A and B are shown apart, each in its own frame.
Chain A
Amino acid sequence: MGKRPSFEKSLEALEEIVAELESGQLTLDEALERYERGVALHKACAEMLAAAEKRIEVLLKGSDGELTTRPLKADEEPPREDES
């Protein structure tokens, strides 16, 4: 966890860049540099959203204490804490 910049941080950085660009206070060089960074941030954000994938799972603990997940089927009654 926390291995890469969070979506929120990236989106905020992107919006800051947009605001800076819109302020018109930048030199052309700076504007181009910001724009490139903005495009990269947008790409990263879009990829993060695209990577999200619907999964509903159950975390189970085996008799050996091993924690594993398996899908929770829609109409299934989820298992109780294991009664082993």
Chain B
Amino acid sequence: MEPSPGEEVLTISELTRRIRRSLEEEFPHVCVVGEVSNLARPKSGHVYLTLKDGGAQISAVLWRSAAARLRFDLEDGMEVIATGSLSVYEPRGSYQITLSSIRPKGLGALQLAFVHLKDKLEKEGLFRPERKRPLPYLPECVGVVTSPTGAALQDILTVIARRFPPAHVVLRPVRVQGEGAAAEIAQAIEDFNTWGGADVLIVGRGGGSLEDLWAFNEEIVARAIYASRIPIISAVGHEIDVTISDLVADRRALTPTEAAEIVLPEFRELVGRLGDARGRLAAALRGQVGLARARLEQTRGAYGFRVPSEMVRRHEQRLDDLCAAATLATRRRLEAARDRLAAAAGRLEALSPLSVLRRGYSITRIAGTRAVLRDAAQVHSGQSIETLLHAGRLVSQVLEAESHGADGGGAPRR
């Protein structure tokens, strides 16, 4: 089809230039609201993105200098209010907004809910620092409330196995995102309290988007954590966003891994500390005893101690002397006594009737009696008498008895 006579024929470049002029004059300054998508940040430092709503989209660019002034993280899906001017990029025949500023459009529904709940619970005192309870230093049993399939559980078990191999861990498996997750988490915390076997709880999950973490921002979970008699470590996500659970819990861990590091001490370190204390205990006592002994030695050598000890030694010597003298005296007395005894024995011997018999004397008794004859008048003729000699005895009959009265006269008896 031929152009009509008089019709102006334009080159593409000319047309594009006119479009550009027209657009730029018509829209020197625009302010739009839309959602960020197709965010790209090449090395140049310029930021390219698409702004869209339900019905249309437009390219946008944020030059390096403007991008550097951003005070928040621009992300896909973010609702923003952006200002700038329209321009045409001639080589591609496309138009775009050159942005001079961009800011988040208010708060999303979730963020709003978060702020409201946070304010409410804060007023109720659920976040009070003085309510935070200390964690047990060495829990006998660690309760874990998390997804059985998530990385969080693996991280916790791995760290615990490294730090404290003989640990006792009890898992209460729950869903950590999606419909009903919050109720399950709250119930699990309550169940641990009913059960009573764990002395500290880790409640958490790995990182994720605000939506993924939402269960930990729900009131039912916050209440359950607050009501728990067992101290709780909250371990949600990767530190960027704080959750309500983090605020209510007795302790916040930035990640499940950190929670495991907080919950149990290093086993080897404990054993070392204990052994060290034992060694120092014994050494310190030895030192103390050594010190006491040294003091004792020192005191014993002191002048004050030497004087009395010298006195003691003098007394001891005197005692020894006395002792020796006493022994000697006693021995002498003993010898004297023995001599006297021997003399007495000699005299006794001399006086013994038996020794008289040895010399030829004899003793005569009336036979059958013990009566010794001293006077012939004691017997009459014909009577039997017994004569004791030095060796043996005789029995004989009196032929004649003639008394002459050794003591001046007893009458002869017949």
Q: Could you list which residues of chain A lie within 8 angstroms of chain B, going by C-beta atoms?
A: 1, 6-8, 11, 14-15, 17-18, 21-22, 24, 26, 28, 31-32, 35, 38-39, 42, 45-46, 48-49, 52-59, 61, 67, 69, 72, 77-81
Contact = CB atoms under 8 A, between A and B. Distances in A.
Interface string B156-177: 0100000011111111111100
Interface string B219-245: 000000000000000000000000000
9 contacts: A7-B137, A14-B274, A18-B281, A26-B288, A49-B270, A57-B171, A67-B191, A78-B171, A78-B173
A28 B290 CA distance: 10
Nearest to A67: B195
Given A21-B281, A46-B274, A67-B191, A80 B173 contact: yes
A4 B21 CA distance: 85
Nearest to B195: A67
Q: List the 9 shortest-distance A-B pairs measured between CB atoms, nearest first.
A: A78-B148, A8-B137, A21-B284, A52-B166, A7-B138, A31-B288, A67-B195, A35-B285, A59-B172
Contacts of A32: 285
Most chain A CB inside 10 Å of its own CB: which residue of B191, B195, B270, B277: B277
A22 B191 contact: no
Contacts, number: 122
Nearest to A23: B284
A56 B165 CA distance: 11
A22 B271 contact: no
Interface residues of B, number: 46
Given A8-B137, A8-B138, A80-B175, A42 B278 contact: yes
A54 B166 contact: yes
B137 to A, nearest CB: 3
Contacts of B174: 81
A14 B184 CA distance: 43
Nearest to A6: B137
B273 A11 contact: yes
B137 A39 contact: no
A56 B169 contact: yes
Contacts of A18: 277, 280-281, 284
A42 B192 contact: no
B287 interface: yes
A7 to B, nearest CB: 4
B143 A59 contact: yes
Given A15-B277, A22-B287, A59-B192, 4 more contacts: A15-B273, A28-B289, A49-B270, A57-B170
Most chain B CB inside 10 Å of its own CB: which residue of A1, A26, A49: A1
A4 to B, nearest CB: 11
Contacts of B334: none
A69 B277 contact: no
